[in-house]
Amino acid sequence: MIIQYVVIFITLVAVFFFSNTRCDSESGQQQMRKWFVWILSGLCVLQSGLRHIGVGADTYSYLLLFEEAHESSWQQIFHNFHEVYVEGTGKDAGYTLLVKIFQIFSTDYRMYLLFVAIFFFTAFAVFIYRNTENYRDIVFAFILYEALFYAFFSITGIRQTLATGFALWGFECIKSRRWIVFTCLILFAAFIHKSILLFLPYYFIGNIRRSRTIFIIAILGFPALMVFRRAFAIWLASLSFSDLYMMYAESTYKSGTYTFTALILLIAFFGWIFMKPVLESNPGSFRYFNAMAIAIVLTPLTWVDPSLMRVVQYFSVFMLVLIPAIVNAVITYPVALRTWTYAIMIAALIYLIAKVGLDYKFMWQPMKVEGISY
């Protein structure tokens, strides 16, 4: 938790410096904004890549997979594809192959964690830079990431972190309508994490300009999907031909994702009300609305099993750019009101980080993993 506060503090200090640095040309201002995004992304890379192997739910488990891949022969690695995609045992054979290829250059797990972080946050930086307008938007996006997505992409779920990186690169292909490149990216990522296949239809949905219709359908369908969420989860799991996802769909988990669902519904409410001014001020934002509509539809799955959050995250990540788009379009004057709005939202996110209270240690700090000190 403390490391998250440090990142936020550095972010706020950096934005003060960058926003008060004079730059006369438009190109110079854009270059400064780009440098700001890259600096914040670099912080996130260090935060993720230098974590202790005991930080996160599965960093240590991925270490064991890394060592297992190193001990496996290339013949075993390629036979794994036959086991997964022909015999139906195991999962995501492409991930082990990726690790094996990486180990040609380095067998150091620390270097691998940094590689994963660099890959993801490079895509993330491009996504934020190209879909925000000013420093306030960028600061809010990164702090919202720390509050909601840090625990998922920065310290756990390496396979899906990689897959999401491919999805963010794929979004640029959606905007430029390069469907062949997009399809290749997603299919390649599917060998690392099968759930990314849910992102394939977004190429078509993302380019539909009737966002209001899509959004209303999602909102109206949400209550029914909440009622029949288990049947919905089982149906999607059956399409995946995965025993793991069927296990999630049939789990007896009793709690729910109250905070996340409340935020999704809050975005849905304000998004629906203010969609017209947002689309007028930011014509490309219809893709953000369409992504959030899919997130609304998939959110009931997280009440079946929180592990199914992984299928929502491909789309809920668009809230990082949609929320600033809504604020910028709705609160146009006075500027102080917009600043105070961001300040209140950031304060709420900082409180949320404190409430969750995730533990963090750097690689050089002592920490116990499965009862053993490292």
Give per-residue pLDDT as tens, 105-161. 999 999 999 999 999 999 999 999 999 988 999 999 999 999 999 988 999 889 999
Q: What is the pLDDT of residue 238?
A: 84
The domain segmentation of the chain, as residue ranges, is 1-197+356-374, 201-330
Cα(363)–Cα(112) distance, rounded to whole angstroms?
A: 13
The answer to whether 191 touches 92, Cβ cutoff 8 Å, is yes
pLDDT tops 90 at residue 251: no
| Dihedral angle over CA of 318, 323, 328, 329, nearest 10 | 90
The answer to whether 152 touches 184, Cβ cutoff 8 Å, is no
Q: Give the position of tokens 């998922």.
A: 152
Q: What is the pLDDT of residue 1?
A: 67
- Using DSSP, state whether 208 is helix, strand or coil: coil
Cα(125)–Cα(138) distance, rounded to whole angstroms?
A: 10
Quote the mean pLDDT of the chain. 90
Cα(301)–Cα(246) distance, rounded to whole angstroms?
A: 12
Q: What is the pLDDT of residue 171?
A: 96
The band of 372, judged by pLDDT with boundaries at 50, 70 and 90, is: low
pLDDT, tens only, 35-65: 999 999 999 999 999 999 999 888 999 999 9
The band of 347, judged by pLDDT with boundaries at 50, 70 and 90, is: very high
Which has the higher per-residue pLDDT, 30 or 149? 149
| Dihedral angle over CA of 168, 173, 177, 178, nearest 10 | -140
Look at residues 135, 155, 132, 148 and name the one whose alpha carbon lies nearest to residue 45. 155
Cα(368)–Cα(35) distance, rounded to whole angstroms?
A: 38
335-356 vs 2-19: helix crossing angle, rounded to 10: 160
